[in-house]
Amino acid sequence: MDLKLFQSDVAKIFRVSTDCLTYWENNRSNPQIIFYPKIIEFLGYSPLYFDETTLCGQIKAYRYKKGITSTKFGNLLKVDASTVTEWENGTRVPAPKHLLKLEILLDKVNKS
């Protein structure tokens, strides 16, 4: 509203239909993770909160800021998507070899 954009204008920015945007606005559906980098850029802040003091929160924040699925994130570390989900939920702790890779990956993001 502040930008004086119509819903159709915003939908074009995100490359989605106006109906899709309406569903997001009315909480009838959530945006797929691939849309979050553009949403964050458009809003100027992240509409989601992650406790980035924990490894779980850092992993989830990284994925949403980058717009990558747990499958793609898992591919970066050569683990299954379900393993990534377990790390994010805190139901599983990364093995030392994965922890080192995670620290390197997450540290790069914090420095940029």
**In this predicted model, what pLDDT tens digit does every residue of 49-100 receive, in sequence order?**
999 999 999 999 999 999 999 999 999 999 999 999 999 999 999 999 999 9
Q: Is 106 exposed, middle or buried (0-12, 13-18, 19+ CB in 10 A)?
A: middle
pTM reported for the whole predicted model: 0.84
**Domain with 64 in it:** 55-111
102 in the same domain as 59: yes
For residues 20 and 10, the answer to whether their CB atoms sit within 8 Å is no
Q: Which residue has the tokens 């379900």?
A: 82
73 found inside a domain: yes
14 found inside a domain: yes
59 in the same domain as 36: no
What's the total number of domains in the chain?
Answer: 2
Q: Which of 42, 45, 48 shows the shortest CA–CA distance to 14?
A: 42
Mean pLDDT of 45-52: 91
